[in-house]
Structure 1
C-alpha cells in the first residue's frame, strides 16, 4: 500500500527513532501507530516517503516539506471508539503532491476541512463515518473518487460541481435526494446502498455506469436500472424484490448479487455472460434457470433448501462454489465440476463423500464441517491433499461423530510439520465436548519473522500439542 525508499526501510533498525515512535514497516508500508513522546513529525522530512499511514495519534498532525503522495489517517471500525477526534486541520498539511487522502472514522467536522481545495492534485478522498458534508469538499474539482459513507448527509446539491467524479460512495445516508447526481455524466461506479431509496429515476442519465450497488433499499424500482446497458456489476442484495423480469435487458452483466430476495430466478437464464452470481438466502428449491450460465466461475447458493442440485453438473467452469446450509444429502451432482478450487458444503446432511471427489484435482479449499460424515478416506486419497493447507483454510468437523485419527487429519508430512513460508492454517473445527472450545479459539499461522514459536497461553490436549510441536516455525495468535 505504501512505497518507501531504502532509508526509511532502515528506520526499524534505528533505536534512536524507534524508542520514540512505534513505527511498523511491513510490505513497504510505513505506519506510525502510537504517539509515545511524539512532539512533531519533522523527522519525516528526511525521507522520500510516497505513502504514509498514521494510526491512533492524538497529537496535532503537522506535515510540511514531506513528499507524501498518499496519506492514510483513517481509523478502522474496531479501533474507533467514537469519542476520539483526529487532531487535524488541513492548513497544517503542506503536501503539494498529495493525491490520495483517507480520513475515515475520525469524528471530523466541517471546520477541519477548510482549504481542502489547496490540494490541486487530490483525486481520491475518503471521509466516510465523519460528521461532514460537502461544504468544503465541493471545491475540490480534481476529485475522481469520493467516499462519504454514513456521514449523515441530507443535502447533496453541491455534489453536482464535482464533474470529474468517476467513483462515488454515498451509502448509508438515508435522507438524500439523488437529483444532483444525475448531472455527473462520467460516473462509472456508484454505491447508494442502504439509502432508503425507492424511486431512482435520476439514474437513467448515468449511461456510463458500470458498477452499481443498490443493496438494502427495500422495494427499489428497477426500471431505471435496467436501462443502464453498460452495467457489468450490480448488487440488489436485500431489496425485498419479488420480480426481476426486466433484468434480462442487462446483457453485459458479469457480476450479479441478488441475495436475500425471495424471487423467481427464471429471467437469469438469459444472462449467459455472468461470471459471478450470488443467490444466497433466496428461498430456492431448484436451479434449472442456471443451466445456460456456462460461463459462471463463482456461485454462491448458500442458505437455500434444494430438492436436488443436478443442474450444477452443466456449469463446468465453476471454480468457487458455496453450498453452505442447503439441506443436501449428497454432492454426486458435482462430479463433472473438475475445475473447482474452493468448495463449501458445510452444515448439510451429507453422510459420505463420493469417490469421484478425487477427480477435483484443482481443489485447494474444502470446507466440509457440520455434516454426518464418518469416513474421511476420500479426503485422505485426494491428489492435492498434501497441499490443501498451502492454498487456504482447511476445515474439518465431525459433530457427534468419532474424531478422525491423527493419520486421517494430518496424513501428509507438510500437514504434520506445517512447513512453508506462506502457509496459513487458520482454523480446525473438530466439535466434540473435549475439544470444541479449545480448537475454535486459536489461529495457527507461520511466523515468518523468526523460527522460534512464540509462547501461547491457550491450552491444548496432549494429542494436539504433539501434532504441532513437530514444527518450530509455528506461531500462535
Structure 2
C-alpha cells in the first residue's frame, strides 16, 4: 500500500512516504521526527529524500535498493544493510563511505557529494559491481577504479580537471560519461574497444580520430564542443544515436556529418544556428531534435516517412505546412513558437503527444482531428473556447493552465482523463469534470472558484475537499481555496494534496476510516493543528497494519 505525507518545513512534523509492492518513498523528514515505523515494514526498495534521521533505516534488513537523496549526510558509516544491491547517495555531503559493509552491491551513485579521494572504493566487489556514478564531485584521481574490473558503466562527468588516463585499463567499459571535465586530450579512448555509449560533451574539443577503435559505439554525444574530423564517425557501423546540440559557437555541424546521416535513427542538433538541413539524409530517422534553431527551414522534413518524434520548439516557426505529410508522427513539440499557425496539424492524426505551450494560440479547432492524442499541453496560450477538445476521448493528460478559459464543460466527455491542469484560468464551476472516473490528478489553483458546492454532495461544509460522488483518486487544492475543514467521505480516494492554504486547518473528519484507500497525502505550506497531524498519523499506522 502506498502512503505519502508531507508538511511544510516550518511545521514540527514533516514527512512524506510512499509504499507500494515493497516500495517506500519518504521526503522532507526532519531530524526531530520519528520514522521508526520503517523497522516493521518489509521494504525491498526504499527511497528517502531530504531526511535527517536514518536510525530507523538501520533495521531494514530486507532492503535491496536504497536511495538516500539530498539528505545532507556527512557520515553514514552506521548504515549496514547486507542485502543491498543498489545504493544511491546522491546530493549529500559525503566525503567517504565504508563500502565493505555492502558485499552484494552492484550499483553505487555518489553524485553531487564532496568526494575528492575515492580510495575507499577499493573494497567494492571486483566480480559483481557493474555501475558507478560519481558526477558533480571534485575527484582528480581515479586509479583505484582499475582494481574493480567488473565495472561496465561509469559516469565521472562534471569533475573538472580529473585525470582520465587510468581509463585505459578499464577495457570492459560499455558506458562512459566524461562530460564537462576540462579534458584536453581523448587519446585514452583508443584503449576502450567495448564502448557502446559515450558522452564527451562540454569539453574543449575532440578529434574523432581518437575514436577509430570505437567500432561498437551506438550512442555518441558531443554537445557544446568543437569537433574535428567528424567524417571518422563513418567508421561506426553501429552508430544510430548522435547528439551534437549546443555547438552554435563552435561551427561543429559541418557538411561531413550529412554523409552518414542515413544510418541514424536519432539525431539531436538543438541550438546550433542551423537554418538549412537539405543535405541531411533523413529517411531512417525516427527521433529528431532541431529545437532552438531560429529560422530553420523545415521543408526537407517532408520526406521523413519514419519520423515519430520531432522537437522544433523555440524555432520561430510561423506555420506547420512543411511537416503536414509526416503522418507517422507520434510526438511533436512546437512550444514557444510565437504566433504560429497550427492548421497544418490536421493530417498528422497519429499524434499521441502534442506540446504546444506559449504560442499565443486562440483557435484550436484543428485539434479535433487529432483523435489519437493522449497527452496535450496548451499552457500559456490565449485559448478561451476548448470545445474542440471534446472529440479527444483518448486523452489521459491535459495541461491548459495559464489560459483564459471560463467554461470547461467540453471536458466531461473525456472519460479517460487521469491528469488535468486547469490552474490560472477564469474557471468558476468544475462540476462538469466531477464524474470522470479515472481522474487521478487535478490542479485548479488560481481560478475563480468561490466554493465547492458543486461537489459537496449536499453537505454543509463551505471549505471542503473530497466527498460524495466526487471520487477521483487524487486532488490538489492550492492557494486561494484557504481550507479550514477537511471531510473525506469517499473510500476511493488515494491521494490528497493541500498546498499554500492561508487558513489553519482545524478539523479533519474521515468517514468509514477502516475502508479508506488513502495511499498518498501531501500537505505543503499549510498550517495544521496537532489533532489533524495525529489523525494523519493514525491513518498511516492503520495502513501499515494492512
**What's the TM-score, normalizing by structure 1?**
0.74
Q: Which residue of 1 aligns with 2:218?
A: none
- In the superposition, relative to structure 1, how do residues 134 and 259 fare at CA in structure 2: closer, same or farther (>3 Å)? farther
Kept in 1: contact 2:65–2:85 (CA 8 A) = no
Distance 1:226 1:243 in 2: 14
Of 328-337 and 57-66, more deviation after overlay is shown by 57-66
Distance 1:257 1:301 in 2: 11
Distance 1:413 1:275 in 2: 33
1:154 aligns with 2:235: no
Q: Which of 144, 147, 165 does residue 114 from structure 1 map onto? A: 165
Of 371-380 and 313-322, more deviation after overlay is shown by 371-380
- In the superposition, relative to structure 1, how do residues 352 and 188 fare at CA in structure 2: closer, same or farther (>3 Å)? same
Kindly state the Cα deviation for residue 293 of structure 1 after the two structures are TM-superposed.
Answer: 0.7
Of 114-123 and 314-323, more deviation after overlay is shown by 114-123
Distance 1:412 1:209 in 2: 49
- In the superposition, relative to structure 1, how do residues 163 and 119 fare at CA in structure 2: closer, same or farther (>3 Å)? farther
Q: Which residue of 1 aligns with 2:241?
A: 167
Q: Which residue of 2 aligns with 1:396?
A: 477
Q: Which residue of 2 aligns with 1:468?
A: 533
Q: Which residue of 2 aligns with 1:200?
A: 277
1:311 aligns with 2:311: no
Distance 1:218 1:364 in 2: 38
> CA deviation digits over 1:10-46, x for unaligned, max 9?
999xxxxx864767899952245678784986x38x8
Q: Which of 111, 130, 154 does residue 181 from structure 2 map onto? A: 130
1:16-415 matches, cutoff 5 A: 20=77, 28-31=85-88, 38=96, 43=100, 47-55=103-111, 56=113, 57-61=115-119, 63=122, 65-75=126-136, 85-89=138-142, 92-108=145-161, 112-114=163-165, 116=167, 118-132=169-183, 135-136=186-187, 139=190, 140-151=192-203, 152-157=224-229, 160=233, 161-174=235-248, 175-179=250-254, 180-182=256-258, 183=260, 185-201=262-278, 204-262=280-338, 263-354=340-431, 356-381=432-457, 385=470, 388-389=473-474, 394-397=475-478, 399=480, 403-407=482-486, 410-412=488-490
Q: Which residue of 2 aligns with 1:79?
A: none
Of 316-325 and 245-254, more deviation after overlay is shown by 245-254
Kept in 2: contact 1:146–1:167 (CA 8 A) = no
Kept in 1: contact 2:426–2:448 (CA 8 A) = yes
Distance 1:189 1:26 in 2: 39
SS at match of 1:299: strand
SS at match of 1:259: coil
Distance 1:324 1:25 in 2: 48
Distance 2:64 2:373 in 1: 47
- In the superposition, relative to structure 1, how do residues 474 and 155 fare at CA in structure 2: closer, same or farther (>3 Å)? farther
Kept in 2: contact 1:8–1:47 (CA 8 A) = no
Distance 1:11 1:254 in 2: 35
Kept in 2: contact 1:362–1:384 (CA 8 A) = no
**What's the TM-score, normalizing by structure 2?**
0.66
- In the superposition, relative to structure 1, how do residues 162 and 184 fare at CA in structure 2: closer, same or farther (>3 Å)? farther
Distance 1:71 1:384 in 2: 50
Distance 1:324 1:427 in 2: 18
Distance 2:497 2:82 in 1: 24
SS at match of 1:470: helix
Counting matched residue pairs gives 418
Kindly state the Cα deviation for residue 396 of structure 1 after the two structures are TM-superposed.
Answer: 1.6
SS at match of 1:466: helix
Q: Which residue of 2 aligns with 1:441?
A: none
Q: Which gives a bigger RCO, structure 1 or 2 (Cα 8 Å, sep 6+)? A: 2
Kept in 2: contact 1:21–1:36 (CA 8 A) = no
Distance 1:229 1:90 in 2: 49
Distance 1:339 1:39 in 2: 48
Distance 1:198 1:281 in 2: 22
- Normalized per residue, the structure richer in strand is 2
Kindly state the Cα deviation for residue 426 of structure 1 after the two structures are TM-superposed.
Answer: 5.3
Kept in 2: contact 1:303–1:325 (CA 8 A) = yes
> CA deviation digits over 1:204-245, x for unaligned, max 9?
235432222222222223234443332211111111111321
> CA deviation digits over 1:441-467, x for unaligned, max 9?
xxxxxxxxxxxxxxx9x99645x5433
5+ unaligned residues in a row in structure 2: which ranges?
1-43, 46-59, 67-74, 204-223, 458-466, 506-522, 541-546
RMSD across aligned positions (CA): 4.0
